[in-house]
Chain A
Amino acid sequence: MLLQMNSITKSYGNVTANSNVNFTLQKGEIHALVGENGAGKTTLMRILYGMESPTSGEIVLNGKPVTFENPTDAIRHQIGMVHQHFMLFPTFTISENIVIGREPSKGIGFDRKTAAMETEQLGKQFGMPIDPWKKVADCSLGMQQRVEILKVLHQGAEIIILDEPTGVLTPLEVKELLIAIKTLASQGKSFILISHKLQEIMDVADRITVLRDGKVTGTVFSKDTNAEQLSRLMVGRDLIHISRNATEVGQAVLDLEGISVRGSKTKPLLSDVNLHVNEGEIVGIAGISGNGQSELIQAISGLLKPDEGMIKLLGQDVTGAPVGAIRQIGLAHIPEDRYQWGVAKDATVTENGLMGHTGKHQKYGVLGGQGIRQMVSEWVERFGIKTGSLSTKAQYLSGGNLQKLIVARELAQKTPFLIAAEPTRGVDVGAMEIIHGELLKKRDEGGAILLISSELTEILKLSDRILVMFEGMIVGELNAAEATEEHISLLMAGGRAVG
């Protein structure tokens, strides 16, 4: 056995993040670690990578017990980690990013030529070609992921920890990454893969360990299991299969006519977008991120003034109206980037929940008492938001829990129209189920929802109608009943709609 983590326990005060966790890894194995947000996956890996020290338990590497004081120790023992949020230097070149910490040198000088040669060679050797002189800031996220993996390989890692590696990648990049992982594993590298996405894990992993509330609820071979069993182990109960009831589609709530946004570059960001969302309908917008979805959201919510066209909300012309006015008329907005648009990191859970609800809880301009805490604590309960208390700062919540808070807050606006952009990004299956359920409930009650997601499965599961965006244009419209993943993928990649 290459690596054994024996009865690892980690507690912070009276919170136990890991309790008696056993985890093993063999040479050349891909071992997936799954579990809900806050189940203790990341803590366990931070212990392995020397970023935290366990309260009790031991790590045995190649038969010898080891302790890591810091990541440098772990790297020295050939353990490497690719973090969920990339640890890259955007203004540096690819080769600089890969060799940093162990730079080839001539005297005190940094030999960049040798570095470039080394890294190019490394890329070829592991089947991940790169352009060593390119700046990381100019690379796609998929390429950045590749740089991260090569960096870890350059450090000489035999065990590679990947924390949520596919979260930000396009479907094609995901495919490439999974192939690369398999190739590397066949060359003798071992992988620990943290992920939410059960399908990917079933595809790539040899063994799967499931964590729930800091405890191991099962370690299974992927060939002996299925997604249902895994979900059960993760959530502790069977998932309810959400079914969509047919609803009567009412009047148009949102109406976009010929919206265009010129970018600074030659290509327009949005060109002649026409769409409408009716009462009791979820309209899904599929597309690889960066094809105008962000601009579309910003145009509708009033953050960006379109250069041409008209936006009507509930029959009123809101083109270029202030954000506050549009929200007043009837818009709620689950933003795509929760840290940039969704929360204030230094504010508490209560304060973040109160945003946009201040009108209801004030008297003569003074915010009032019990109602606020009651409102937020009710959300915390209903959505199962894991937080220390209502006065915990938002930055200490995990991404998934923060997302749940935002969804709860925006749904509570009870507006006729809702923009849901990437509503379940980085959220575990249990929470995803809750959020999907709430969105469908809103639809059943006659709400109009515009769903923007880069997850095709989500689009297919929730939408009544599906629009596909490519390079700022709507290139296809499909009915939920007739849409297939293949068809949408083709449109997303710029293939023209046929029939």
Chain B
Amino acid sequence: MDQIFDVSLFASTLRMITPILLAALGGAICARVGLFNVGLEGLVLIGAFSAIVGNHFTGNVFLAVLFAVFCSLLFSILFGYMSIQLKANVIVVGIALNFLALGLTTFSLRAVFNVKGAYYNKDMVGLPKWDIPVLKDIPWLGDVLSGHSPLVYLSLVLVVLLQLFLFKTVTGFRLLAAGENPTAAKSLGIKVTRIQYGAVLMCGVLCGLAGAQLSLGNVTMFTEGMTSGRGFIALVATMLGQSNPLGVAASSLLFGFMDALSIRLQGFALPTHFTMMLPYIVTIAAMLFFKDKGYMQEARKSNESSR
């Protein structure tokens, strides 16, 4: 047992949850304004790919992350335009975006790098590792918490910031109102459409960061479909966490841990395909815990559209 549950398992948990957590936070904001964003997977994938592209052409990690955010943002505008402006069914739009992202990144991989399957370049620099002073000297805790990429720490800060934003600020309050009962919010002169766009854009930024962490933080490469369902796991984390940033963080932690565990178990005699099922088994088990999603149904009802 000690061999499985050692320091590096928890350290890698923290690394693994970051993409899920960032995407799930984006999903949570969208859910809070009544848009159920199934397109997280695609948004993260676009982020992951464009981070590598940015890195390849600029050679600067910071610019690479910015480029990833920019591309995901563009993609999320597409999602917003279709679902808010054209009032298309959000689920359909989300699924369409996922497939579009998969095709687009695979195609571009060939067009830009002229490779199939995966792109790796040993000269490419990944995200820097930050050693946190003082913390890194504490035994065990220092090994787990220190030495991660800045995005890992950013994601944790964002959890707190988002929690404060949603539940303590006037703007956050109006955002919640717009999601809970758009008709009523409109009748009070609250700009529901603008708030929805804001939420979708914020989601785009978060997914871009998630993608960058995936392709530049955990590894420094891009493979076709490298999100491999993390966007959907993030979606489950959103729901399981009741679209509460703190709740989302807790459920992401659970999934990130299972993710790290499954990789760890591959080092043992267990078949790879079995261990790879683990995160998804937990996902299904988690589904059993959230049956009643009251407020989102309310939002859908009062919207009286197909969403």
Contacts and interface: CB of A to CB of B under 8 A. Distances in A.
Interface of A: 51, 70-72, 75, 81, 83, 87-92, 96, 100-101, 103, 105, 108-110, 345, 395
Given A71-B188, A101-B189, A101-B190, A87 B169 contact: no
B180 A90 contact: yes
B102 to A, nearest CB: 33
A110 B173 contact: yes
Contacts of B172: 110
A101 B188 contact: yes
Contacts of B181: 87-90
Given A90-B180, A90-B298, A108 B171 contact: yes
Contacts of B184: 87-89
A72 B189 CA distance: 5
B189 A75 contact: yes
B187 A91 contact: no
Interface in B156-206: 168-174, 176-177, 180-181, 183-185, 187-190
A83 B183 CA distance: 11
Nearest to A101: B188
A105 B174 CA distance: 13
Contact of B170 (A70, A92, A108): A108
A345 B168 CA distance: 38
B295 interface: yes
Contacts, number: 58
Contact of A100 (B171, B183, B188): B188
B202 to A, nearest CB: 16
A240 B138 CA distance: 90
25 contacts: A70-B189, A71-B187, A71-B188, A71-B189, A75-B188, A87-B183, A87-B184, A89-B176, A89-B177, A90-B181, A91-B180, A91-B298, A96-B173, A100-B185, A100-B190, A101-B188, A101-B189, A101-B190, A103-B170, A108-B169, A108-B170, A108-B171, A109-B169, A110-B172, A110-B173
Given A103-B170, A103-B173, A110-B173, A92 B188 contact: no
A151 to B, nearest CB: 8
Contacts of A87: 181, 183-184, 187-188
Contact of A91 (B189, B190, B295): B295
Contacts of B173: 96, 100, 103, 110
Contact of B180 (A51, A81, A89): A89
Nearest to B298: A90
B246 to A, nearest CB: 17
A110 B187 contact: no
8 nearest A-B pairs in the assembled complex, by CB-CB distance: A72-B189, A87-B184, A101-B188, A110-B170, A89-B180, A103-B170, A110-B173, A108-B169
Nearest to B306: A346
B195 to A, nearest CB: 13
Contacts of A96: 173
Contacts of A109: 168-170
A100 B169 CA distance: 12
Contacts of B174: 100
Contacts of B185: 100
Contacts of A90: 180-181, 298
B168 A92 contact: no
A352 B298 CA distance: 25
A81 B186 CA distance: 13
Contacts of B180: 89-92
Contacts of A81: 187
A107 B294 CA distance: 32
B293 to A, nearest CB: 12
Contacts of A108: 169-171
A75 B176 CA distance: 22
B177 A100 contact: yes
Of A72, A83, A100, the most chain B CB neighbours within 10 A belong to A100
A242 to B, nearest CB: 37
A83 B189 CA distance: 15
Given A87-B187, A395-B304, 10 more contacts: A87-B184, A89-B180, A90-B181, A91-B180, A92-B180, A100-B190, A101-B188, A101-B189, A109-B170, A110-B168
B153 to A, nearest CB: 24
Contacts of A83: 187
A384 to B, nearest CB: 27
A89 B298 CA distance: 9
B283 to A, nearest CB: 26
Contacts of B176: 89, 92
Contacts of A72: 189
Nearest to A49: B187
Nearest to B169: A108
Nearest to B173: A110
Contacts of A92: 176-177, 180
Contacts of A91: 180, 294-295, 298
Contacts of B189: 70-72, 75, 101
Nearest to B190: A101
Interface in B268-307: 294-295, 298, 304
A105 B170 CA distance: 7
A46 B174 CA distance: 24
Nearest to B183: A87
A72 B169 CA distance: 22
A103 B174 CA distance: 10
A101 B187 CA distance: 10
A87 B188 CA distance: 9
Interface centre among B177, B185, B189, B295 (most CB of A within 10 A): B189
Contacts of A75: 188-189
Nearest to A75: B189
B243 to A, nearest CB: 12
A378 B294 CA distance: 42
A83 B186 CA distance: 13
Nearest to B171: A108
A105 B180 CA distance: 21
Nearest to B180: A89
A92 B180 CA distance: 9
Contacts of A101: 188-190
Contacts of A100: 173-174, 177, 185, 188, 190
A110 to B, nearest CB: 5
A101 B177 CA distance: 10
Nearest to A395: B304
Contacts of B168: 109-110
Contacts of A71: 187-189
